[in-house]
Amino acid sequence: MSIHVVVMGVAGCGKSTVAEAIHERLGYVYAEGDDFHPQANIDKMIAVAKEQLGDPYVRGARGPKSFDCSGLVYYCLNQAGSNRRRLNAAGYSQVSDWTKIKDIDGLKKGDLICFYDDDYTKVGHIGIVINSSGEMIDASSSNGKVVPESEGLCYGADVEGKIEIFDA
């Protein structure tokens, strides 16, 4: 007879932490729920982000015609089937049931990338990674609109060390 333990709860309640503890203490096989996101949901999130290119940046906006950085993430996640609530960039960086990627080489399509402010005290910006080359789409206050950003943004010397990457 096999025993299966399923840890369930609302987003951000610590399911992954509890499941990891069960795995460590009892030796049960641990499967991260984030690993089961259908590719279709990720593709939908990216497609929705691309549809917003050129839409104006408006602080606090969450779509459908204007966005700030976290509003764009919220809108794209929501349109792809996520029920994640609206957070700011710093809030998204604290979601405990997403896998934090420690190495930039682990960057993949559909990840969310968070950037610290210039004095490294808080996360102040977030974007959606659209491919494994480090390109992303974000609602940029400096550009005044939703824009694609090249791989240099993620790998450039000015940004290296300022990012946290999350597997949404």
The residues annotated with a catalytic role in the active site are 69, 125, 138
Report whether 85 contacts 70 (CB < 8 A).
Answer: no
Give me the DSSP letters along the chain: ---------STTSSHHHHHHHHHHHH------GGGG--HHHHHHHHHHHHHTTTPBB-TT-BSSS-B-HHHHHHHHHHHTT--PPP--HHHHHT-TTSEEE-SGGG--TTEEEEEE-TTSSSEEEEEEE-STTS-EEEEETTTTEEEEE-HHHHHSTTTTTSEEEEE-
